[in-house]
Structure 1
Amino acid sequence: MGNRITRGNFEWVYTEQPHTQRRKEILAKYPAIKSLMGPDPHLKWIVSCLVLTQFFACYLVKDLSWRWVFFWAYAFGGCVNHSLTLAIHDISHNVAFGNKFIQRNRWFAVFANLPIGLPYSASFKKYHIDHHRYLGGDKLDVDIPTDFECWFFCTPVRKLLWLFLQPLFYALRPLFVNPMAITQMEIYNALTQLAVDLVIYMLWGLKPIVYFIAGTFLCTGIHPFSGHFIAEHYLFLKGYETYSYYGPLNWMTFNVGYHMEHHDFPSISGFKLPMVRKIAPEYYDNLPQHHSWIQVLWDFVFKDTMGPASRTKRVYKEALKSF
């Protein structure tokens, strides 16, 4: 415990992130895992089907009343869009076409982004790299809530509001924690999204656009799928900063629940992560794990010991040089 201290409600640690060493140990014992790395041929076809499904759905909702637009946005469209955000997460690791075709991965992520309604994929890629490289890094990992979030959202009602507003915090937090220059790919992402949204609006009106954006907002806020945001790295047990979930919702979320496995091997696609656990079960089966994302959300809201500050933080040398 000498390497851990609670400060500002975060748990500050003075050790390296655990996944780098775990990766070395597992690969030394099970080199066959290397065969799982690289592009996954299934990903592009599944993502394409999801995108086309959403375009067909947005055509169907164009003549519905507003209440039914919002109903289907939450009950169906948002679920698909949440899945697409997790597909973009996978694509950000170049598993759609492999490391040899980086631009194909980038533009395919832009394509997967279209039903989400707002440009997202290029910015996500830019910041997600640091989430893996500097897990829990102060001023580096924008997945860590800000001090304001931790201070204000501290009661059950406020924590519930925080969950609802999660999409906004994920979008705005990088601007305050670790702002980076806008990249050319982000501009392409925004222009492509704007052009497609404009075409849809001209063809079918406003309701399909609202269906896209409302579904994205609602289903990345308070929704069973959104339990993974809390389940992945919040400190349900002291000393464990990454958790996996092996339940049925993985089937609709590109196995994002296999999160310990993902951080150990980010270059392996979500579809193949169950094989990692199967090959090296002693590294995963006995670790703390979640059994229900709904239970995770419930515990987060109503347990006094849980809140936005229930995270591990560490200082990296790179951050010290920048400030």
Structure 2
Amino acid sequence: MPPFVETEEKESTLRSRGTGVEDQSPPDSRHPLYLGDWKRSIPYVDEDFARDDMDEPHLKRKHTILREHPEVEKLYGTDIRTLYVTIGINVVQLSIAYTFGKLWQAPIYIFALVAYFIGGTLTGMIGVVIHEACHCLVFKQKWINRYFGLFANIALPVPIAQSFRRYHIEHHTWQGVEGMDPDLPLDWEKALIRGNALSKFLWIMIYPVMYVVRGAVMQHDRNLTPSKWEIINVVFTIASDYLIYHFCGLRGLLYLLTSLWFGYSLHPGAAHFVQEHYTFDDGQETYSYYGILNIPFMNIGYHNEHHDFQKIPWSKLPALRSMAKDYYDKLSYHTSWLMVHYKFISQPNIGPQSRVIRTYDDHKKGRTLLAKMRQFDLFQKSKVSATTQ
């Protein structure tokens, strides 16, 4: 199977979806499998993101799947195993930090190799853990997930957990909405990077910084102030960093920083940042990854499934795909994170501008049509019920 798969059914499916006047279907052409008619943005050809005139497709797909597969709701819940994974990662990372800081002055190449292959991998997994916590998929009580996010942040010497929660929930709420989705690249990223391979390589190398910068820019543009939990996160991280410095030394703290940098930049596990919403195909704005690295990275590659059903924990996303394979197997997807980075960097027709945006008004219009569509479905069900009685 190639590293990026465009399913054979996709083109014919897109051609067959009309407005539904003849078959009395609801007035939204995306019901039930419509993606989009927009063309992806090409560097040096287009100046801005691609633009859609509807809301994102996940909520429509969710309701359609639930109508056909109501058993999906049984997958909702939490997974306490995430706690055990987090404890293990913190123990390993702090033990390595102590070893490098107090017990062994390892050569720089060994320090770097360990920080990349072990530290970078575990740092990426901590990112997945924090992601689960922000959706309250570890514990049922919201407040426990807040504290758990702080616990997961110990091995990351930068206060990430609570800011990520804030901006990630906004990303789900306003996916692709210009000025509101904090996951979208900034104007200078589009203008400066474009399709140049070296520029894209350097851009990926500073991706950990860009996550922070984008949040700060959005805070400034929307006159937002740090939340109580973000302030708590900063204080907590300063305290934990001091303790790590005290017990593990400067070299131990530098190991954790290096692990963070490697794990969120040019690391196979970090390719999901590109895989998720950078458009490799016309009309499709979200992509999943189905490959072997989903095992250590706790199924973070199942991104279409996660956007459709945010109440399903990482361990049950493969079951969701299996239940609703008629939907997910019709979407293009990736099978190699190494190839995601390689294609993104090497191919001049893709870059930071390879995203899709929509206005708030178009997003709202799409949600209105969704409400009409659901009313239509209820009407059709009532007609069928009355006929069978």
Q: Tell me if TM exceeds 0.5.
A: yes
Among 246, 249, 253, which residue is 1:205 paired with?
A: 249
Query: Equivalents in 2 of 1:19, 1:97: separation in Å?
Result: 25
- Does residue 259 (structure 1) correspond to residue 303 (structure 2)? The answer is yes
Query: 8 Å contact 1:69–1:207 — kept in the other structure?
Result: no
Matched AA of 1:104: I
1:42 and 2:84 aligned: no
Which protein has the larger Cα radius of gyration, Structure 1 or Structure 2?
2
Unaligned runs of 5+ in 1: none
- The equivalent residue for 2:146 is 106
**8 A Cα contact 1:3 1:14, kept in partner:** no
Could you tell me how far 1:248 is from its partner in structure 2?
Answer: 0.6
> Which residue matches 2:201?
160
Is the 8 Å Cα contact of residues 37 and 283 (structure 2) preserved in structure 1? no
Range moving further from structure 2, 227-236 or 45-54: 45-54
Superposed counterparts of 1:1-323, under 5 Å: 4=38, 8-62=47-101, 63-65=104-106, 67=108, 68-98=110-140, 101-154=141-194, 155-179=196-220, 180-317=224-361
- Structure 1: distance between partners of 2:294 and 2:157: 24
CA offset digits 1:33-76 (Å, max 9, x no partner): 11111211221112221112212221122132361333311121
State the alpha-carbon separation in 1 of the partners of residues 112 and 37 from structure 2: 48
CA deviation string 1:158-190 (max 9, x = no partner)? 010001011101111122235431011111111
- CA RMSD, 1 decimal: 1.9
In the other structure, the counterpart of 2:24 is: none
Measured in 2, the distance between the counterparts of 1:9 and 1:306 equals: 12
Shift of 1:201: 1.1
Superposed displacement of residue 3, structure 1: 6.0
Q: Secondary structure of 1:206's partner?
A: helix
CA distance in 2, matches of 1:131, 1:15: 16
Percent identity over paired residues: 33
Is 2:277–2:286's contact at 8 Å kept on the other side of the alignment?
A: yes
Aligned residues: 318
Which letter does structure 2 place at the counterpart of 1:21? K
CA contact (8 A) 2:55 2:362 kept: no
Go from structure 1 to structure 2 and tell me whether the alpha carbon gap of 1:41 and 1:165 turns closer, same or farther (over 3 Å shift): same
Counterpart CA distance in 2 for 1:317 and 1:127 is 21
Rounded to whole Å, the distance in 1 between the matches of 2:261 and 2:156 is 9
For the 8 Å contact 1:9–1:309, the answer to whether it is kept is yes
**Match for 1:81: what amino acid?**
T
Q: Give 1:318 deviation, angstroms.
A: 10
SS in structure 1 at match of 2:184: coil
Q: Which has the higher contact order (CA 8 A, sep 6+)?
A: 2
List per-residue Cα deviations over 1:266-310 (Å, max 9, x = no partner).
111111100101111101112101011111111111111100000
Q: Give secondary structure in 1 for the equivalent of 2:50.
A: strand
CA contact (8 A) 2:305 2:320 kept: yes
Task: Output one character per residue of 1:15-47: Cα deviation in whole Å (capped at 9) or x when no partner.
Answer: 111000000000111111111112112211122
CA deviation profile, 1:238-257 (whole Å, cap 9, x unmatched) = 10001111101111111011
* Runs of at least 5 residues in structure 2 that lack an aligned partner in the other structure: 1-13, 15-35, 365-389
Distance 2:61 2:94 in 1: 42
Q: Cα distance 1:75–1:64, how it changes in 2: closer, same or farther (>3 A)?
A: farther
- 8 A Cα contact 2:54 2:362, kept in partner: no
Letter in 2 for 1:85: G
- Partners of 2:283 and 2:361 in 1: CA distance: 22
Q: 1:283/1:178 Cα in 2 relative to 1: closer, same or farther (>3 Å)?
A: farther
TM-superposition CA deviations, 1:174-233 (whole Å, max 9, x none): 222354310111111111111111112112210111111111011211111111111111
Which region of structure 1 is more displaced relative to structure 2, 185-194 or 160-169? 185-194
